[in-house]
Chain A
Amino acid sequence: MYGWHLRILRVNLTTHKVTTEDVDPKIARDYLGGRGWAIHYLYKEMDPMVDPLSPENVLIFATGPLTATPAPTGNRYMVVTKSPLTGALAHSNSGGEFPTWMKRTGFDMYIFEGKSPEPVYLFVNEDQIEVRPAAHVWGKDVHETTDILKAETSEEARVACIGQAGENLALMAAIMNDKHRAAARSGVGAVMGSKNLKAVVAMGNKNPALHNPEEMRALSVDTSKNVGADVKKGSNMRIYGTSYVPQVTNTLGILPTRNFLQGTFEGVNNIDGDALKNQYLIRHTPCYRCPLSCGRLTEVPDGPYKGKGEGPEYETISSLGTGCGVSNLAALVKANYLCNEYGMDTITTGMTIAVAMEMYEKGYISEEVIGMPLKFGDHDAMIAMIRKMAYREGFGNDLAQGSYRLAEKYGHPELAVTTRKQEFPGYDPRGSQGMGLLYATSNKGASHMEGDVAYEEVFGVPVKENPLTTEGKPELVKHFEDSFALMDSSGLCVFVAIRYAFNKDRMILPQRLAEMMNFSTGAGYTPEEALKAAERVYNLERMFLIKAGSVPENDTLPYRMLHEPLPDGPAKGKVVELDKMLPEFYKLRGWDEKGYPTKEKLIELELPLN
């Protein structure tokens, strides 16, 4: 077989028994890889009602058929499990180098079951597969852990691990790889911590055989050249990463500011891409085989926030920065470093601190409870909260539950800006209506990575849609959700894959991805089949969600988005008009009027009926 190894590594952490198994080629084809394979196995093997932090939850690392191939950005993996933050599905994506190294061990996917009696890490070097003691790295941060485990295994190995936040089961804990890259969202790091699994260390030389290596290389060279030559489009990413985005969202009035109390931030010039570039940027740090290079190594050379690391990218600026009303760039950069070291999702971390700030200012949580004043804009308090969250110290124990549970505990759940208890990313949907529909229906709670229609509504890719209108948005959201499911399953990064969508013909993206996957696997997908497989993945995730109790009634938005009009900026006076979009979305999806997939739809997609 080509492209896929068609091999899975299964690790029972309770017994430390390791087994390998083959993947049915029909399942491989029907579910694409990565995110698609993972939901197939999760749905088949696990009761969706399990406690996410119990040994019964299953944790899956999954690469795709383009991971570890010459495909540009063919270097992603997905972490899929039941989320302790949302109680629904978690599927978090990451790049760096680890995903390619993982696939080179000769396995497409690792499945972790049970719970180890003591801290362990998994070492895989092709057929050498060992569950090893990890007591000596338990309690250490992501950077220390990575250095120690590489030193005791091989400098050629790559490490994915949790920091203190994951060990302590903080619900915003990420799984970090290559020190700075994160499968960040939905508390996947807490699931890893609950299993006493500190790290996964991977190395090997088993590149997947390619069905048509010549065509694959030609297409890859062509794509890289296009991205590289595309100065106007590509250079922003090269120069700024995503840190140029605050100026865009501020212009449109959708930059989350002070827990979404506002849509514009007066201090944006202090924390935008130019400020970062001029003050702290050292150099660009691409993921393996990436022609875009959006990662950036930065350093605060001196002062109280001295440090060195990667970031911040946009989502960190809009959460720990504007979300908290913070305009001190050095403090914001330091906060990002701390999140990477403790292993935390910056979005949920920042927006949870933001809701605590609002509750403090409104008198709902006292200084006595918090241990210090916590006003919007207080960057030192913001930094102090990050450590408290990671260690669940004092008030940090409340923060570590995420913004919804925090706001609910102190009597004001309406202040949490979440769907399915997951915090919003950096696009206020009151001024970006399609994003509102996306957040409301996303299989993993609020997330731009479920189908980022901001590409059209905000960034004009491939065409600029008016973000303030609802017409046509249900179709746009469905198309983007299916396209993202395809990209997440393939092993490509959305940043380069979406480049194929620089075309008004919406079939170009599935056409290009199908071509690449065919060169890799020989599976002979038509573009329609590839998109249909992605729709299958999306619908099976929906079934998982429903069985987990995260029912269609949760397809809604928090109070602020539906009832509190934006007070400022171009979208002033707007709320999300969800009721104008949701029924049409259900209809386009082939779901009934309550949001459940119909029998006909499940049969069409060859999905199980129960």
Chain B
Amino acid sequence: MMIRVKLIANYREALPPEAKHGVVELDVPNGTTVYDAISRFDIPLNDESVIVLNGLTVDMNTPLVEGDMVTAFSAIAGG
């Protein structure tokens, strides 16, 4: 199934060159979780990162469905 991963700001450095505006499309097997998808990228998988599924706060073990968007950014106070 096709899902998308979006990385924001400095995390974009971890994306492959084909990514556009920080978004990359991935073909992943059924049963792939939020954690599985995001752990393909070289970003911290702890409290230093905020990871959301379709913009919502979810458990990292939530299984993905076709068309989902997983987004990650560095936890930092903002404007």
* Closest CB in chain A relative to B51 CB, distance in Å: 9
User: Contacting A455 at CB < 8 Å: which of B21, B54, B55, B77?
Assistant: B77
Which one of A49-57, A133-141, A246-254, A537-545 contacts B?
Answer: A246-254
> Measured between alpha carbons, how far is A426 from B12 in the docked complex, in Å?
23
Q: Smallest CB-CB separation from B48: which chain A residue?
A: A232
Are A233 and B79 in touch, CB under 8 angstroms? Answer: no
Q: Smallest CB-CB separation from A431: which chain B residue?
A: B55
Interface: A517 (CB within 8 A) = no
Interface: B50 (CB within 8 A) = yes
Interface: A107 (CB within 8 A) = no
> Measured between alpha carbons, how far is A247 from B9 in the docked complex, in Å?
8
Interface residues of A in 532-571 (CB under 8 A from B): 569-571
Give chain B residues whose Cβ lies under 8 Å from the Cβ of A448: 79
Given contacts A233-B48, A460-B47, A467-B57, contact A242 B8 (CB under 8 A): no
Number of interface residues of A (CB under 8 A): 46
Give chain A residues whose Cβ lies under 8 Å from the Cβ of B55: 251-253, 569-571
Q: Smallest CB-CB separation from B69: which chain A residue?
A: A251
User: Contacting A247 at CB < 8 Å: which of B22, B47, B52, B54?
Assistant: B22
* Closest CB in chain A relative to B7 CB, distance in Å: 10
Give chain B residues whose Cβ lies under 8 Å from the Cβ of A314: 78-79
Are B79 and A426 in touch, CB under 8 angstroms? Answer: yes
**0/1 string, B8-44, CB within 8 A of A gives 1:** 1110100000000110000000000000000000001
Are B21 and A269 in touch, CB under 8 angstroms? Answer: yes
**0/1 string, A338-377, CB within 8 A of B gives 1:** 0000000000000000000000000000000000000000
Given contacts A251-B6, A251-B8, contact A459 B77 (CB under 8 A): yes
Are B21 and A464 in touch, CB under 8 angstroms? Answer: no
* Closest CB in chain A relative to B75 CB, distance in Å: 4
* Closest CB in chain A relative to B67 CB, distance in Å: 14
Are A244 and B57 in touch, CB under 8 angstroms? Answer: no
Are B78 and A464 in touch, CB under 8 angstroms? Answer: no
> Measured between alpha carbons, how far is A495 from B79 in the docked complex, in Å?
9
* Closest CB in chain A relative to B40 CB, distance in Å: 18
Are A245 and B79 in touch, CB under 8 angstroms? Answer: yes
Are A236 and B50 in touch, CB under 8 angstroms? Answer: no
User: Contacting B77 at CB < 8 Å: which of A235, A241, A461, A465?
Assistant: A461
> Measured between alpha carbons, how far is A452 from B76 in the docked complex, in Å?
13
Q: Which residues of B contact A (CB under 8 A)?
A: 6, 8-10, 12, 21-22, 44, 47-50, 52, 54-57, 71, 73-79
Q: With A239-B9, A251-B52, A466-B57 given, name 4 new contacts (CB 8 A).
A: A232-B10, A244-B8, A244-B78, A570-B56
